[in-house]
Amino acid sequence: MCGIVGYIGNKKAKPILIDGLKKLEYRGYDSAGIAILNSGEINVVKSKGRIAVLEDKLKDISLEGTIGIGHTRWATHGEPSDINSHPHISKNGKIAVVHNGIIENYIQIKEFLLAKGYQFKSETDTEVIAHLIEYNYEGDLIKAVIKTLNELEGAYALGVLSTDNPDMFVAAKKDSPLIVGLGQNENYIASDIPAILKYTRDILILEEKEVACISSDKVEIYNLLGEKQQREVFHVDWDVSAAEKGGFEHFMIKEIFEEPAAIKATISPRIKDNEIVLDNLIITDEIINNCEKIHIIACGTAYHAGVVGKYIIEKLARIPVEVEVASEFRYRDPIINEKHFTIVISQSGETLDTLMAMREAKKKGSLTFAIVNVVGSSIAREADDVLYTWAGPEIAVASTKAYNTQLAALYLLALTFAKRKGLLDQHSYLNYLSQLQELPNMITSVLNEKKEIQKFASEHFNAKSIFYIGRGLDYALSMEGSLKLKEISYIHSEAYAGGELKHGTIALIEEGTLVVASLTQEQLFEKMIGNVREVKARGAVVLAIAQEKNADEVAKIADAVITIPNVDSVLAPIVAVTTMQLFAYYVAVMKGNEVDKPRNLAKSVTVE
Ligand code: AGP
């Protein structure tokens, strides 16, 4: 996520802004900038790269003002670059804006403003906010900001400076975090508490769709009707480390709890008027209809997302899909040509095996399409096209929210392919869209079961080996559940197709062996009930994952059941995986492991 800081008081703003941005570096970013208001002028200094690059630029510039805003950017619209960095300035140079979030209707607003004679310098969605506030400005900044916010769709945390208002600045929040820090004759804004903990522990938490007018000696909060709001002061008693994790014990659990927001950010901007809209994709109807095969190439968790992708694309779009780990694909002289289409999946966009495999596919004439979380990363830049997952930075080595958003992207693609091939009637299509938009709430329901999952983990964290079994999409899901457990708990684990147990592995099942069984797939439910009976008969302890409608039946044979809300089987993995992520997390915590930085692992494997 981007990071925002703001200051107004009697000290020089520059060092306070830079210090605050440094405290937000852990959030992940690719560029940084500040804007300071002094003597009726707004001075903006911003640059691609680390804050140190910005500091270098600032060395020869004396910025004397005592009011300013700052920003670290995690790119979503527009590659990391100086010009795409924030703050963004309005046409007349009188308004500066920093923004965290995604403006879903920025293209329509941009077209409106272009027709009004505004020019745009950047590729960002944020720049439209600066110009639109100027367009709406009639001498009252708060009113102009409120009018603008009522015209925006999407998520925002904002800081707004105006040359006409040297004694105050404005902040606003919807679906992106923003707090106000209260000092003595000085006040602050920040995306997160660590940025201001050094100066104050007294904060006001902005609620949804609220605007704050911040001067050095007072803070006024309004709703989007312009009505003043009251707000209790919240005293922060966290230490810095806890504050960086938003009060969570680890980044991993914080990122699991970010999944509803991450999925909403990835899906919501791409469903407009009951239609999936994937802007400027190269995938034409001709490509889809002429495509003989789709290759999905990735590593690790991203590969497991690809296995889910295979099942759903073949089921919905009836296109043959071959999914393979990148390190195998690239060395086996793969049979691939211009009639094949290649999807590469990567959270970091820098995994060397995946990058090299994509180059191999390109060399053999295949169109390449990337599903990536980091804007402007190597894979994103080299692919013929890219569909970004807007999960925000993933700090923990074990991938969680990125996996969920990779599935979200694959659902959007599979449904688009199926619709364009005329294989999906309108009723089914709309039903899928409605369930896609319900996913954040479904995952929230799973997160609300964390206590039951934590309890089961506390009973089994000393297991020597844990088997994950499932059929169809539940088998693909089991692969990811097993990897999540292995990489942070260091417990041996294997994922098995339920129907495959009898061909060997069941010999390993003995009294007390722990088996995690996924039973979310309607058509395979009875078969999986049989597999659970098989392992129970040999003494296994079974943790079952099932849809609510089957919970009672599964509870009769399993030792514990974690339920997910009733959902179409195709969409079940994106909800059910959260139960497995939580289970793996609590087991690793019980074992006292370094959950965010497991032994031997790196967040991005940029070597062979
Ligand atoms: C996932 O928990 C692991 N950290 C690892 O398997 C990871 O998914 C793999 O290295 C691929 O990384 P990427 O998605 O950044 O390409």
What per-residue confidence (pLDDT) applies to 175? 83
- Answer whether 487's CB lies under 8 Å from 598's CB: yes
Q: Assess whether pLDDT exceeds 90 at residue 237.
A: no
Q: Assess whether pLDDT exceeds 90 at residue 282.
A: no
pLDDT, mean over the chain: 94
With cut-offs at 50, 70 and 90, classify the pLDDT of residue 384. Answer: very high
Closest CA to 375 of 348, 412, 403: 348
Over residues 15-27, mean pLDDT: 92
Distance, CA 392 to ligand 1 centroid (Å)? 15
Distance, CA 302 to ligand 1 centroid (Å)? 6
- The residue behind tokens 């959902």 is 567
- The residue behind tokens 């005329």 is 422
Q: How far is CA 506 from CA 65, 211, 296, 533, in A?
A: 71, 60, 31, 12
Cβ of 605 less than 6 Å from ligand 1:
yes
What per-residue confidence (pLDDT) applies to 256? 98
Cβ of 163 less than 6 Å from ligand 1:
no
- Answer whether 564's CB lies under 8 Å from 546's CB: yes
What per-residue confidence (pLDDT) applies to 605? 76
Question: How would DSSP label each residue in 564-582?
Answer: E----GGGHHHHHHHHHHH
Per-residue pLDDT tens over the stretch 565-593: 999 999 999 999 999 999 999 999 999 99
With cut-offs at 50, 70 and 90, classify the pLDDT of residue 381. Answer: confident
Nearest CA to ligand 1 atom 7: 300
Q: Assess whether pLDDT exceeds 80 at residue 140.
A: yes
Cβ of 399 less than 6 Å from ligand 1:
yes
With cut-offs at 50, 70 and 90, classify the pLDDT of residue 27. Answer: confident
Cβ of 136 less than 6 Å from ligand 1:
no
Per-residue pLDDT tens over the stretch 149-200: 999 999 999 999 999 999 999 999 998 889 999 999 999 999 988 899 999 9
> Angle formed by the axes of helices 572-590 and 450-460, to 10°?
50
3-class DSSP assignment, residue 344: strand
Which atom of ligand 1 lies nearest, measured to the CA of 406? 14
Q: Assess whether pLDDT exceeds 80 at residue 11.
A: yes
With cut-offs at 50, 70 and 90, classify the pLDDT of residue 210. Answer: very high
Q: Assess whether pLDDT exceeds 90 at residue 118.
A: yes
User: Which residues touch 536 (CB under 8 Å, ≥6 apart)?
Assistant: 542, 557, 558
Known catalytic membership, residue 419: no
What per-residue confidence (pLDDT) applies to 25? 87
C-alpha 55, offset from chain centre: 29
What per-residue confidence (pLDDT) applies to 341? 94
Which atom of ligand 1 lies nearest, measured to the CA of 301? 8
Over residues 548-573, mean pLDDT: 97
Among 2, 213, 291, 299, the one annotated catalytic: 2
534-537 long-range contacts, Cβ below 8 Å, gap at least 24?
Answer: 534/501, 534/502, 534/506, 535/467, 535/469, 535/501, 535/506, 535/509
Tell me which fold the domain 244-448 belongs to: Rossmann fold (3.40.50)
Pocket residue to mutate for ligand 1, from 256, 348, 607, most atoms within 8 A of Cβ: 348
What per-residue confidence (pLDDT) applies to 303? 98
Q: Assess whether pLDDT exceeds 90 at residue 236.
A: no
Nearest CA to ligand 1 atom 4: 398
With cut-offs at 50, 70 and 90, classify the pLDDT of residue 530. Answer: very high
Closest CA to 195 of 181, 209, 184: 181
Starting at the edge strand found earlier in the chain, the sheet holding 179-182 runs 41-48, 31-38, 67-73, 3-8, 187-190, 179-182, 202-205, 234-235
Starting at the edge strand found earlier in the chain, the sheet holding 514-519 runs 492-497, 465-470, 514-519, 541-547, 560-564
Distance, CA 379 to ligand 1 centroid (Å)? 14
Nearest CA to ligand 1 atom 6: 300
Share of the chain above pLDDT 70, in %: 99
Tell me which fold the domain 3-237 belongs to: Glutamine Phosphoribosylpyrophosphate, subunit 1, domain 1 (3.60.20)
3-class DSSP assignment, residue 543: strand
Which atom of ligand 1 lies nearest, measured to the CA of 398? 2
C-alpha 290, offset from chain centre: 33
Distance, CA 428 to ligand 1 centroid (Å)? 33
Three-state SS string over 163-196 comes to CCCCCCEEEEEEECCCEEEECCCCEEEECCHHHC
- Answer whether 103's CB lies under 8 Å from 269's CB: no
Q: How many other C-beta atoms can be found within 10 angstroms of the C-beta atom of residue 442?
A: 22
Which atom of ligand 1 lies nearest, measured to the CA of 399? 2
- Answer whether 320's CB lies under 8 Å from 314's CB: yes
Distance, CA 397 to ligand 1 centroid (Å)? 8
Distance, CA 595 to ligand 1 centroid (Å)? 15
Cβ of 327 less than 6 Å from ligand 1:
no
Pocket residue to mutate for ligand 1, from 394, 397, 605, most atoms within 8 A of Cβ: 605
- Answer whether 69's CB lies under 8 Å from 13's CB: no
DSSP 453: H
Q: Assess whether pLDDT exceeds 90 at residue 310.
A: yes
3-class DSSP assignment, residue 522: helix
Which atom of ligand 1 lies nearest, measured to the CA of 298? 16
Distance, CA 573 to ligand 1 centroid (Å)? 18
Domain ranges of the chain: 3-237, 244-448, 449-595
Q: Strand 560-564 vs strand 541-547: parallel, antiparallel, or unpaired?
A: parallel
3-class DSSP assignment, residue 346: strand
Pocket residue to mutate for ligand 1, from 323, 324, 351, 372, most atoms within 8 A of Cβ: 351
Alpha helix stretches (DSSP H) within 2-68: 13-23, 51-59
Q: At 381, list the tokens.
A: 């830049």
Over residues 449-463, mean pLDDT: 96
Pocket residue to mutate for ligand 1, from 301, 345, 599, most atoms within 8 A of Cβ: 301
What per-residue confidence (pLDDT) applies to 396? 93
Cβ of 205 less than 6 Å from ligand 1:
no
Known catalytic membership, residue 502: no
With cut-offs at 50, 70 and 90, classify the pLDDT of residue 380. Answer: very high
Q: Assess whether pLDDT exceeds 90 at residue 309.
A: yes
Q: In whole angstroms, give the CA distance from residue 567 to residue 598.
A: 33
How much is the pTM?
0.83
With cut-offs at 50, 70 and 90, classify the pLDDT of residue 245. Answer: confident
Q: In whole angstroms, give the CA distance from residue 401 to residue 302.
A: 11
Cβ of 398 less than 6 Å from ligand 1:
yes
Instruction: Give domain 449-595's CATH number out of 3.30.960.10, 3.40.50.2000, 3.30.70.1350, 3.40.50.10490.
Output: 3.40.50.10490
Distance, CA 347 to ligand 1 centroid (Å)? 7
| Element (DSSP H or E) covering residue 535 | helix 525-537
Q: Assess whether pLDDT exceeds 80 at residue 26.
A: no
Over residues 222-241, mean pLDDT: 89
- Is 449-595 in the same CATH topology as 3-237? no
